[in-house]
Amino acid sequence: MKKYHINRNKILQQGCEVLKLEAQAINELINRIDDSFVIVCEQVIKCKGRVIVTGMGKSGLIGKKIAATLASTGTYSYFVHPGEAAHGDLGMITSQDLVLMLSNSGETDELLILLPAVKKLGVFCIAMTGNPNSSLANYSDISLNVGVQYEACTLNLAPTSSTTAALAMGDALAVSILNIRGITANDFAVTHPAGLLGRRLLTTIESIMHTGILVPKVHINATLRDTVVEMTKKTFGMSVVVDNKDNVVGIFTDGDLRRCFNKGTDINNTVISDIMTENPKTCESNQLAETVVRLMEVNNINTMVVVNEMNKLQGVLKTQDLIQAKII
């Protein structure tokens, strides 16, 4: 087995060099964001069908990611392997679609074979290539130049800077199109229900709060002893204080209790309304979890009282509930 000499400084230097080269490749794309980029965005917006992305090898892998990003940001898109397309899958492409072809050299045989058939359908073709003078660029309706001076590979062979540049250009397209469409965070959440953003923006407090007999609450005329008993039974580390109509008028917490003990407060004869915290932070049951998470963070609280629009007690919510629901 071949033995390798690990030179820490050389490894660190090489890692930094790769990132510098790839960053340079992306930076050079900025000056290529021109009318061609605008036309591509316009064509995608006008497309009545789907954006079909295709490419071979590493370009194909980048193409899959671009198709996925477009799809997740509001553009109906999917990836078709050019080899499979040439053997029947071309039938999946209709005259209403748009095709985005990726090839660093612009001379990939599998893509060039497809071009005449795709053009015959009347499909608008976009080339994303590192060679603006290539066959793919010349025969497509429009071309985006993602060429790089050097690959980050020390042999200048392995697709590194070139695939990074193509990926970045795909992201630039997707985000620009997303903004043109006016896609909101809520729209994004609908297509990402299992993700953190989706859960935050689709989950309402009503679905995760504690209600009914589980809610620790005492009447405004209750004693401190009554309140301690209620807090002990419900284990929320607090109790909501309500009036005769179940309106929330205050809250009493473990911290308040410790302060009472330090002062020697009479547990049997002290009325809770005299020592409670008035006007506690509340939220409504129909509010989104995202909003309530921020409210709890800003106010540095771990328990939220839930009310309706009339300030009547509906439930309580703990930070732990948000964690269990994978909201945070």
Dihedral sign computed on CA atoms, order 162, 58, 133, 169: negative
- Tell how strand 238-242 and strand 217-219 pair up: parallel
What are the φ and ψ backbone dihedral angles of 238, each rounded to 5 degrees?
-170, 170
**What pLDDT is stored for residue 4 in this prediction?**
81
Residue 8, amino acid: R
**What pLDDT is stored for residue 195 in this prediction?**
58
What are the φ and ψ backbone dihedral angles of 96, each rounded to 5 degrees?
-85, -10
With b for 16 or more beta-carbon neighbours within 10 A and e for fewer, the 45-64 pattern comes to eebeebbbbbbbebbbbbbb
Contact, 119 vs 113, CB < 8 A?
no
Which letter does DSSP use for residue 209 in this model? S
pLDDT digit string (tens) for 101-150? 999 999 999 999 998 888 888 999 999 999 999 999 999 999 999 999 98
Q: Which among 188, 208, 184 has a CA at the least distance from the CA of 196?
A: 188
- Tell how strand 124-129 and strand 98-103 pair up: parallel
Cα 107 versus chain centre, distance? 36
Residue 184, amino acid: T
Sheet holding 142-145, edge to edge: 77-79, 51-55, 98-103, 124-129, 142-145
pLDDT digit string (tens) for 80-101? 998 887 666 677 788 899 999 9
Contact, 134 vs 107, CB < 8 A?
yes
- Tell how strand 303-307 and strand 238-242 pair up: unpaired
**What pLDDT is stored for residue 61 in this prediction?**
96
In the chain, at which residue ranges do the beta strands (DSSP E only) sit? Answer: 51-55, 77-79, 98-103, 124-129, 142-145, 217-219, 238-242, 248-253, 277-278, 282-284, 303-307, 313-318
**What pLDDT is stored for residue 220 in this prediction?**
96
Q: Which residues of the chain have pLDDT under 50?
A: none
Cα 12 versus chain centre, distance? 31
Q: Which among 67, 66, 118, 129 has a CA at the least distance from the CA of 95?
A: 118
**What pLDDT is stored for residue 85 in this prediction?**
75
Contact, 174 vs 73, CB < 8 A?
yes
Contact, 175 vs 37, CB < 8 A?
no
Report residue 208 as tokens: 């995760």
Q: Which CATH class is domain 205-324?
A: alpha beta
Residue 52: enclosing H or E segment and its boundaries? strand 51-55
Residues of the chain with CATH 3.10.580.10: 205-324
Distance, in Å, from the CA atom of 173 to the CA atom of 23, rounded to the nearest integer, reads 18
**What pLDDT is stored for residue 74 in this prediction?**
83
Distance, in Å, from the CA atom of 262 to the CA atom of 260, rounded to the nearest integer, reads 5
Contact, 252 vs 227, CB < 8 A?
yes
**What pLDDT is stored for residue 63 in this prediction?**
96
Q: Looking at the domain 8-183, which fold is it?
A: Rossmann fold (3.40.50)
Residues of the chain with CATH 3.40.50.10490: 8-183
**What pLDDT is stored for residue 325 in this prediction?**
81
Distance, in Å, from the CA atom of 17 to the CA atom of 11, rounded to the nearest integer, reads 10
What torsion do the CA atoms of 6, 7, 10, 14 make, to the nearest 10 degrees?
10
**What pLDDT is stored for residue 17 in this prediction?**
94
Residue 322, amino acid: L
Side-chain half-sphere exposure of 128, counting CA atoms within 13 A: 31
